[in-house]
Amino acid sequence: MAKNVLAAAVVAAIWSASAGELLTGEAAAAKFPASLREMGLGTAKWMQLTNGVEYYYGRFSNMLGTVPGFTGSKNDLHMIRIDYKHAPVKMKFVDHTRTSENKWTTSKTAAQHDALFAINMTMEDGNGGPQGYVKVEGEDVPSLRKTAPDGFAFNDDKTFKFDTGWLNVDPATGNPKADAWENVVSHEAYTIHDGVATWGANATFPRANYTFFGTTADGVFWACAVDGRREGVSEGLAYHEIAALQRELGCVEGVCCDGGGSTTMAIRKDLMTSGDICETQKTSADSSDYYTMNYLSGTQKTLFGFTINIERPGTERKVINQLLFVADPDFAVHHQGKPGGAAGISFLGGFFSSGGAVKVEVCDVEGDCWYAIEKTTDLSQSFVIDESTWTKGSELAAGGKELLIARQENEAQAFYRIVVSSAAPSAVPLSFSR
């Protein structure tokens, strides 16, 4: 049989749980958006938490001072950039107002759902409910303040939308716009809509520490937490300043979450370099698996750029709800091509477990062809076939066998492609250039 070796045009990047390289100084500063670097960026730290997800910490001496119409201020800022379309994560909203406890800390909530990272979300309505219209997994949450129906909605399939008036009727369906979405999170402080500041951003509020969240036109999320109320160190931001900063990040939609002592960002420890970003005192008192960036009133000091409470290190304020980012078990990269047809990359044992196996699913297989996986850890190098993965199409089509490839423990990244051949495995070379 003549050899007819074809490589399917699919590449998928898989990152392990081991923390990425921590960048500091000029190398970290270079990762920041150019406009932020000009705002007196001093101390800078950057790390890739997983594929498509990056963490930034910056200490600024002139935040927004370069933006016309704004007065600069000193601020400490934590940011997580999520390339949502390409990152193996998805959003999950958790509301506690219908539980017996009513409030939970962010790290405890993150641990319960095995989240990679999480932030606090909406303010309270004065009666223990969310301030604004909230819907969780298809169910409305009781609130006294449904008059603030502006914010964002998302479904489990990773679709999302920022909009105003979620309780307004959609002319196309005759039903409230919220009916088409599983989760809706609205905020009284909706900072940007279609790139323009909303009423919340124009409201007169003093500077303070806040959590805020927004998206760019191409679907990149920015989750941020700014420290505040520490004169000469970190003054915080007002609503209109948060809107301005979100626009500097490229956001066209944005909301401001609860602030003050509720401001919290929790990141799972195995995604960060221990001892370099957060020292051990910042381990959450509620979950030892998470670092927390939180801002409590009272005696505080700064270590490694992170505010901690001296009397109760790692202690967090309980809040009514959080936005979590969890591993997406359905994350896949698809391609079209023959003779392999459509192929998806999925994972066994979770995205962030050390070692384990990667399963490659092949659809529309041809029974007489043979299929295998080739791999590289560096795209500048050639892919190499794992001969042990050669499987006849008829076996794959019958469901009797799967394509599996070993994943090395502490392997930072790997890229996979499906190889298809009309020749028997013994006639296929071990590697070949593209």
When pLDDT is averaged across residues 2-31 and rounded to a whole number, the result is 55
Q: Give pLDDT tens digits for 70-116.
A: 999 999 999 999 999 878 789 999 999 888 888 998 988 999 998 98
Phi, psi (rounded to 5 degrees) for 320? -85, -25
- Can you give the pLDDT at residue 396? 80
pLDDT of residue 130: 81
What share of the chain has pLDDT > 70, as a percent? 69
3-state secondary structure 137-195: CCEECCCCCCCCCCEEEECCCCCEEEECCCCCEECCCCEEHHHHCCEEEECCCEEEECC
Residue 390 pLDDT: 86
Question: Measured at the alpha carbon of residue 414, what is the angle toward residues 412 and 420, in degrees to the nearest 5?
Answer: 170
pLDDT at position 353 over 60: no
Cβ-based burial of 69 (10 A; exposed 0-12, middle 13-18, buried ≥19): exposed
Confidence of residue 31 (pLDDT cuts 50, 70, 90): very high
Q: What is the mean pLDDT of the chain?
A: 75
Give the pairing of strands 160-163 and 151-154.
Answer: antiparallel
The angle subtended at Cα 322 by Cα 135 and Cα 272, nearest 5°, is: 145
Q: How far, in Å, CA of 176 to CA of 191, rounded?
A: 23
Taking the C-alpha atoms of residue 192 and residue 159, their distance in angstroms, rounded to an integer, is 19
Which comes out higher in pLDDT, residue 309 or 274? 274
Residue (of 225, 223, 188, 196) closest to 208 by Cα position: 225
The amino acid at residue 421 is: S
State yes or no: pLDDT of 297 exceeds 70: no
Out of 96-110, 213-227, 336-350, 369-383, the most confident range is 213-227
Does residue 129 sit in helix, strand or coil?
A: coil
Helix (H, G, I), strand (E, B) or coil at 25: helix
- Condensed to tens digits (0 to 9), the pLDDT of residues 411-434 reads 556 666 777 777 777 644 433 322
